[in-house]
Amino acid sequence: MKKMKIVHLTYDMRIGGTEMVIKGLVEGSVDRFDVEILCLEPRLGPFGEHLVEQGIKVTNLNWLGGFNVDLIKGIRQYIKENDVDILHCHQYTPWVYGTLASLFCKTKVIFTEHGRFYPDSSSNKRKIVNPILTFFTEHISAISSATKQALVEYEFLPERKIEVIYNGIKPLQASKEGAEKLRAELGIASGAKIFGTIARLDPIKNQRMMINAFAELHKEQSDVVLVIVGDGEERKPLESQVSDLDITDAVFFTGYKDKPAEYLALMDIFLLSSLSEGTSMTLLEAMSLGKPCVVTDAGGNPEIIIDKKNGLVTPNDNQSAFAKAMKDILNPDLINTFANNAKIRFQENFTLQNMVNSYVELYKNN
């Protein structure tokens, strides 16, 4: 019997949260469906290269930005030539192009929103266009309730048509020996408590506030350190900030790491200070290793970290509250309780299999 043909339409397959979801979906459903990936942009990306090595077909178009009628024609030609049953569009722009390209074809469109810009905004054009696109869309999903609400408020999409499907990942595997080796390499004292984060260094992640909050804590407790894993446009400004605060000896910038499991295992407490989030993959990774977390009340963060259960949630962009939470979570009893609860919550809600099963049901019912 011919397998249903599922094509994931996205920007590219570089390293990021959306791309990780697509990769997980492809790998988790390839035995049940005929799965391919269609990228709007000419860049393939590391995740795409990895999937190609596994025998997954990844096709790149040549979109360089701006509205392009030829791109619609290219997608339409692709779905007709490849007899596509479902075009799963990831994020807003691929949804617009994918829906227009699929008009009056047998191909059914599914749209998944993976996150929002900060600050969020809308337009009169979207108020007119989006309901029309929705009419030709079989199903819409969002990766958090906060993202769903943003689609209703800013994109004028009907709440009844949006289902929340949380991201899911495979639990990380990391050795205690590897973490201890990293501690020695970084020169972190054996008794120091390690706060850490893994994210691109970008204004949306608000690491500036995190560093200021850490500096407040460090004044009271000198036996704490901060490990920042990642790279980006904020790298030099953040390093200058650390120098100005005179905490250079307590803050470690590691740069980008493609396999950060050992770094995450090294951390006693995971921090996420974002101004906006969907469902943070690194937050899920931290939970899979049983890490207590301090996060801002942004996007899907408080849906993943339940305040005072598996971590602490602070008001968004509130330095003093974030610093207090970092201090409070150092209580050994809290650390142990939150660590245990983190693993339980991860297993119940955020595994890769949970996510794959939800989307498989979506495909089968459309």
**DSSP result, 17-56:** HHHHHHHHHHHHHTTTSEEEEEESSS---HHHHHHHHTT-
Residues 6+ apart with CB under 8 A from 238: 201, 207, 208, 211, 228, 253
How many CA atoms lie less than 13 Å away from 83 in the CB half-sphere?
5
- pLDDT at position 115 over 90: no
pLDDT at 248: 97
Q: Are residues 244 and 120 in the same domain?
A: no
User: In sequence order, what are the beta bridge partners of 362?
Assistant: none
Domain span including residue 102: 5-168+351-364
Pairing of β 224-229 and β 251-255: parallel
**What CATH number is attached to the domain comprising 107?**
3.40.50.2000
pLDDT at 315: 98
Q: Are residues 324 and 206 in the same domain?
A: yes
8 A C-beta contact, residue 218 and residue 224:
yes
pLDDT per position as a tens digit, 301-333: 999 999 999 999 999 999 999 999 999 999 999
Number of domains in the chain: 2
pLDDT at 172: 94
Q: Are residues 304 and 199 in the same domain?
A: yes
Q: Are residues 344 and 360 in the same domain?
A: no
- Which tokens in the block code for residue 78? 């692709």
pLDDT per position as a tens digit, 130-184: 999 999 999 999 999 999 999 999 999 999 999 999 999 999 999 889 999 999 9
pLDDT band at residue 96 under the 50/70/90 scheme = very high
Q: Are residues 58 and 146 in the same domain?
A: yes
Q: Are residues 189 and 322 in the same domain?
A: yes
Q: Are residues 115 and 127 in the same domain?
A: yes
Q: Are residues 13 and 65 in the same domain?
A: yes
Q: Are residues 187 and 267 in the same domain?
A: yes
pLDDT band at residue 270 under the 50/70/90 scheme = very high
What average pLDDT score do residues 64-92 get?
A: 96
pLDDT at 182: 94
Q: Are residues 210 and 133 in the same domain?
A: no
What residue type is assigned to position 280 of the chain? Answer: S
Q: Are residues 205 and 156 in the same domain?
A: no
Q: How far apart are CA 147 and CA 164, in angstroms?
A: 9
Q: Are residues 96 and 234 in the same domain?
A: no
The DSSP element (H or E) to which 241 belongs, if any, is helix 235-244
- pLDDT at position 1 over 80: no
What average pLDDT score do residues 193-199 get?
A: 97
Using alpha carbons, list the distances in angstroms from residue 170 to 19, 167, 355. Answer: 15, 11, 10
